[in-house]
């Protein structure tokens, strides 16, 4: 899993390619971690991006135009690799609809997250 970093005089941000998730946010001077760092056996994620669903639904499925789609709890974006563009002062993370996402979500989309 690739990681990308931004830093200024106050903070150091680390973002994962998988899910465009913030995996670390530390103070630049003290190095104090501000994001949950996970605990095996409890919850290993940090700050997941929940798209296109937050929470779970009855049987984690929905019907659209007569077709049944099974949606993972909190959606699928947190498990997918994003296209990442790193610039001097921002990280741009993009996820586009494709054949894999259409199994869960039958709509075209372009999800862009910008950390700056």
Per-residue pLDDT of 61-105, as tens digits, reads 899 999 999 998 899 999 999 999 999 899 999 999 999 999 999
Q: Strand, helix or coil at 9? A: coil
Q: Are 53 and 75 in contact (CB under 8 A)?
A: yes
Q: How far, in Å, CA of 82 to CA of 96, rounded?
A: 8
Distance between CA atoms of residues 43 and 17, nearest Å: 19
1-37 residues labelled b (16+ CB within 10 A) or e (exposed): eeebebeeeeebbbbbbbbbbbbbbbeeeeeeeeeee
E strand or H helix at 101:
helix 99-102
Q: Tell the residue number behind the tokens 């465009």, with chain if given.
A: 20
Q: What is the pTM of this model?
A: 0.87
What's the rounded mean pLDDT across residues 6-32? 96
């Amino acid at each position: 899993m690739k990681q990308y970093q931004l830093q200024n005089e106050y903070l150091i941000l680390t973002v994962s390619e998988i899910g465009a998730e913030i995996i670390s946010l530390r103070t630049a001077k003290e190095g104090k971690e501000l994001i949950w760092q996970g605990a095996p056996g409890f919850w290993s994620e940090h700050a997941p991006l929940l798209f296109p669903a937050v929470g779970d639904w009855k049987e984690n499925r929905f019907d659209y135009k007569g077709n049944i789609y099974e949606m993972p709890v909190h959606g699928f974006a947190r498990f997918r690799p994003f296209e990442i563009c790193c610039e001097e002062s921002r990280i741009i993370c993009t996820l586009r609809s494709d054949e894999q996402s259409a199994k869960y979500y039958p709509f075209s989309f372009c999800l862009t997250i910008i950390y700056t």
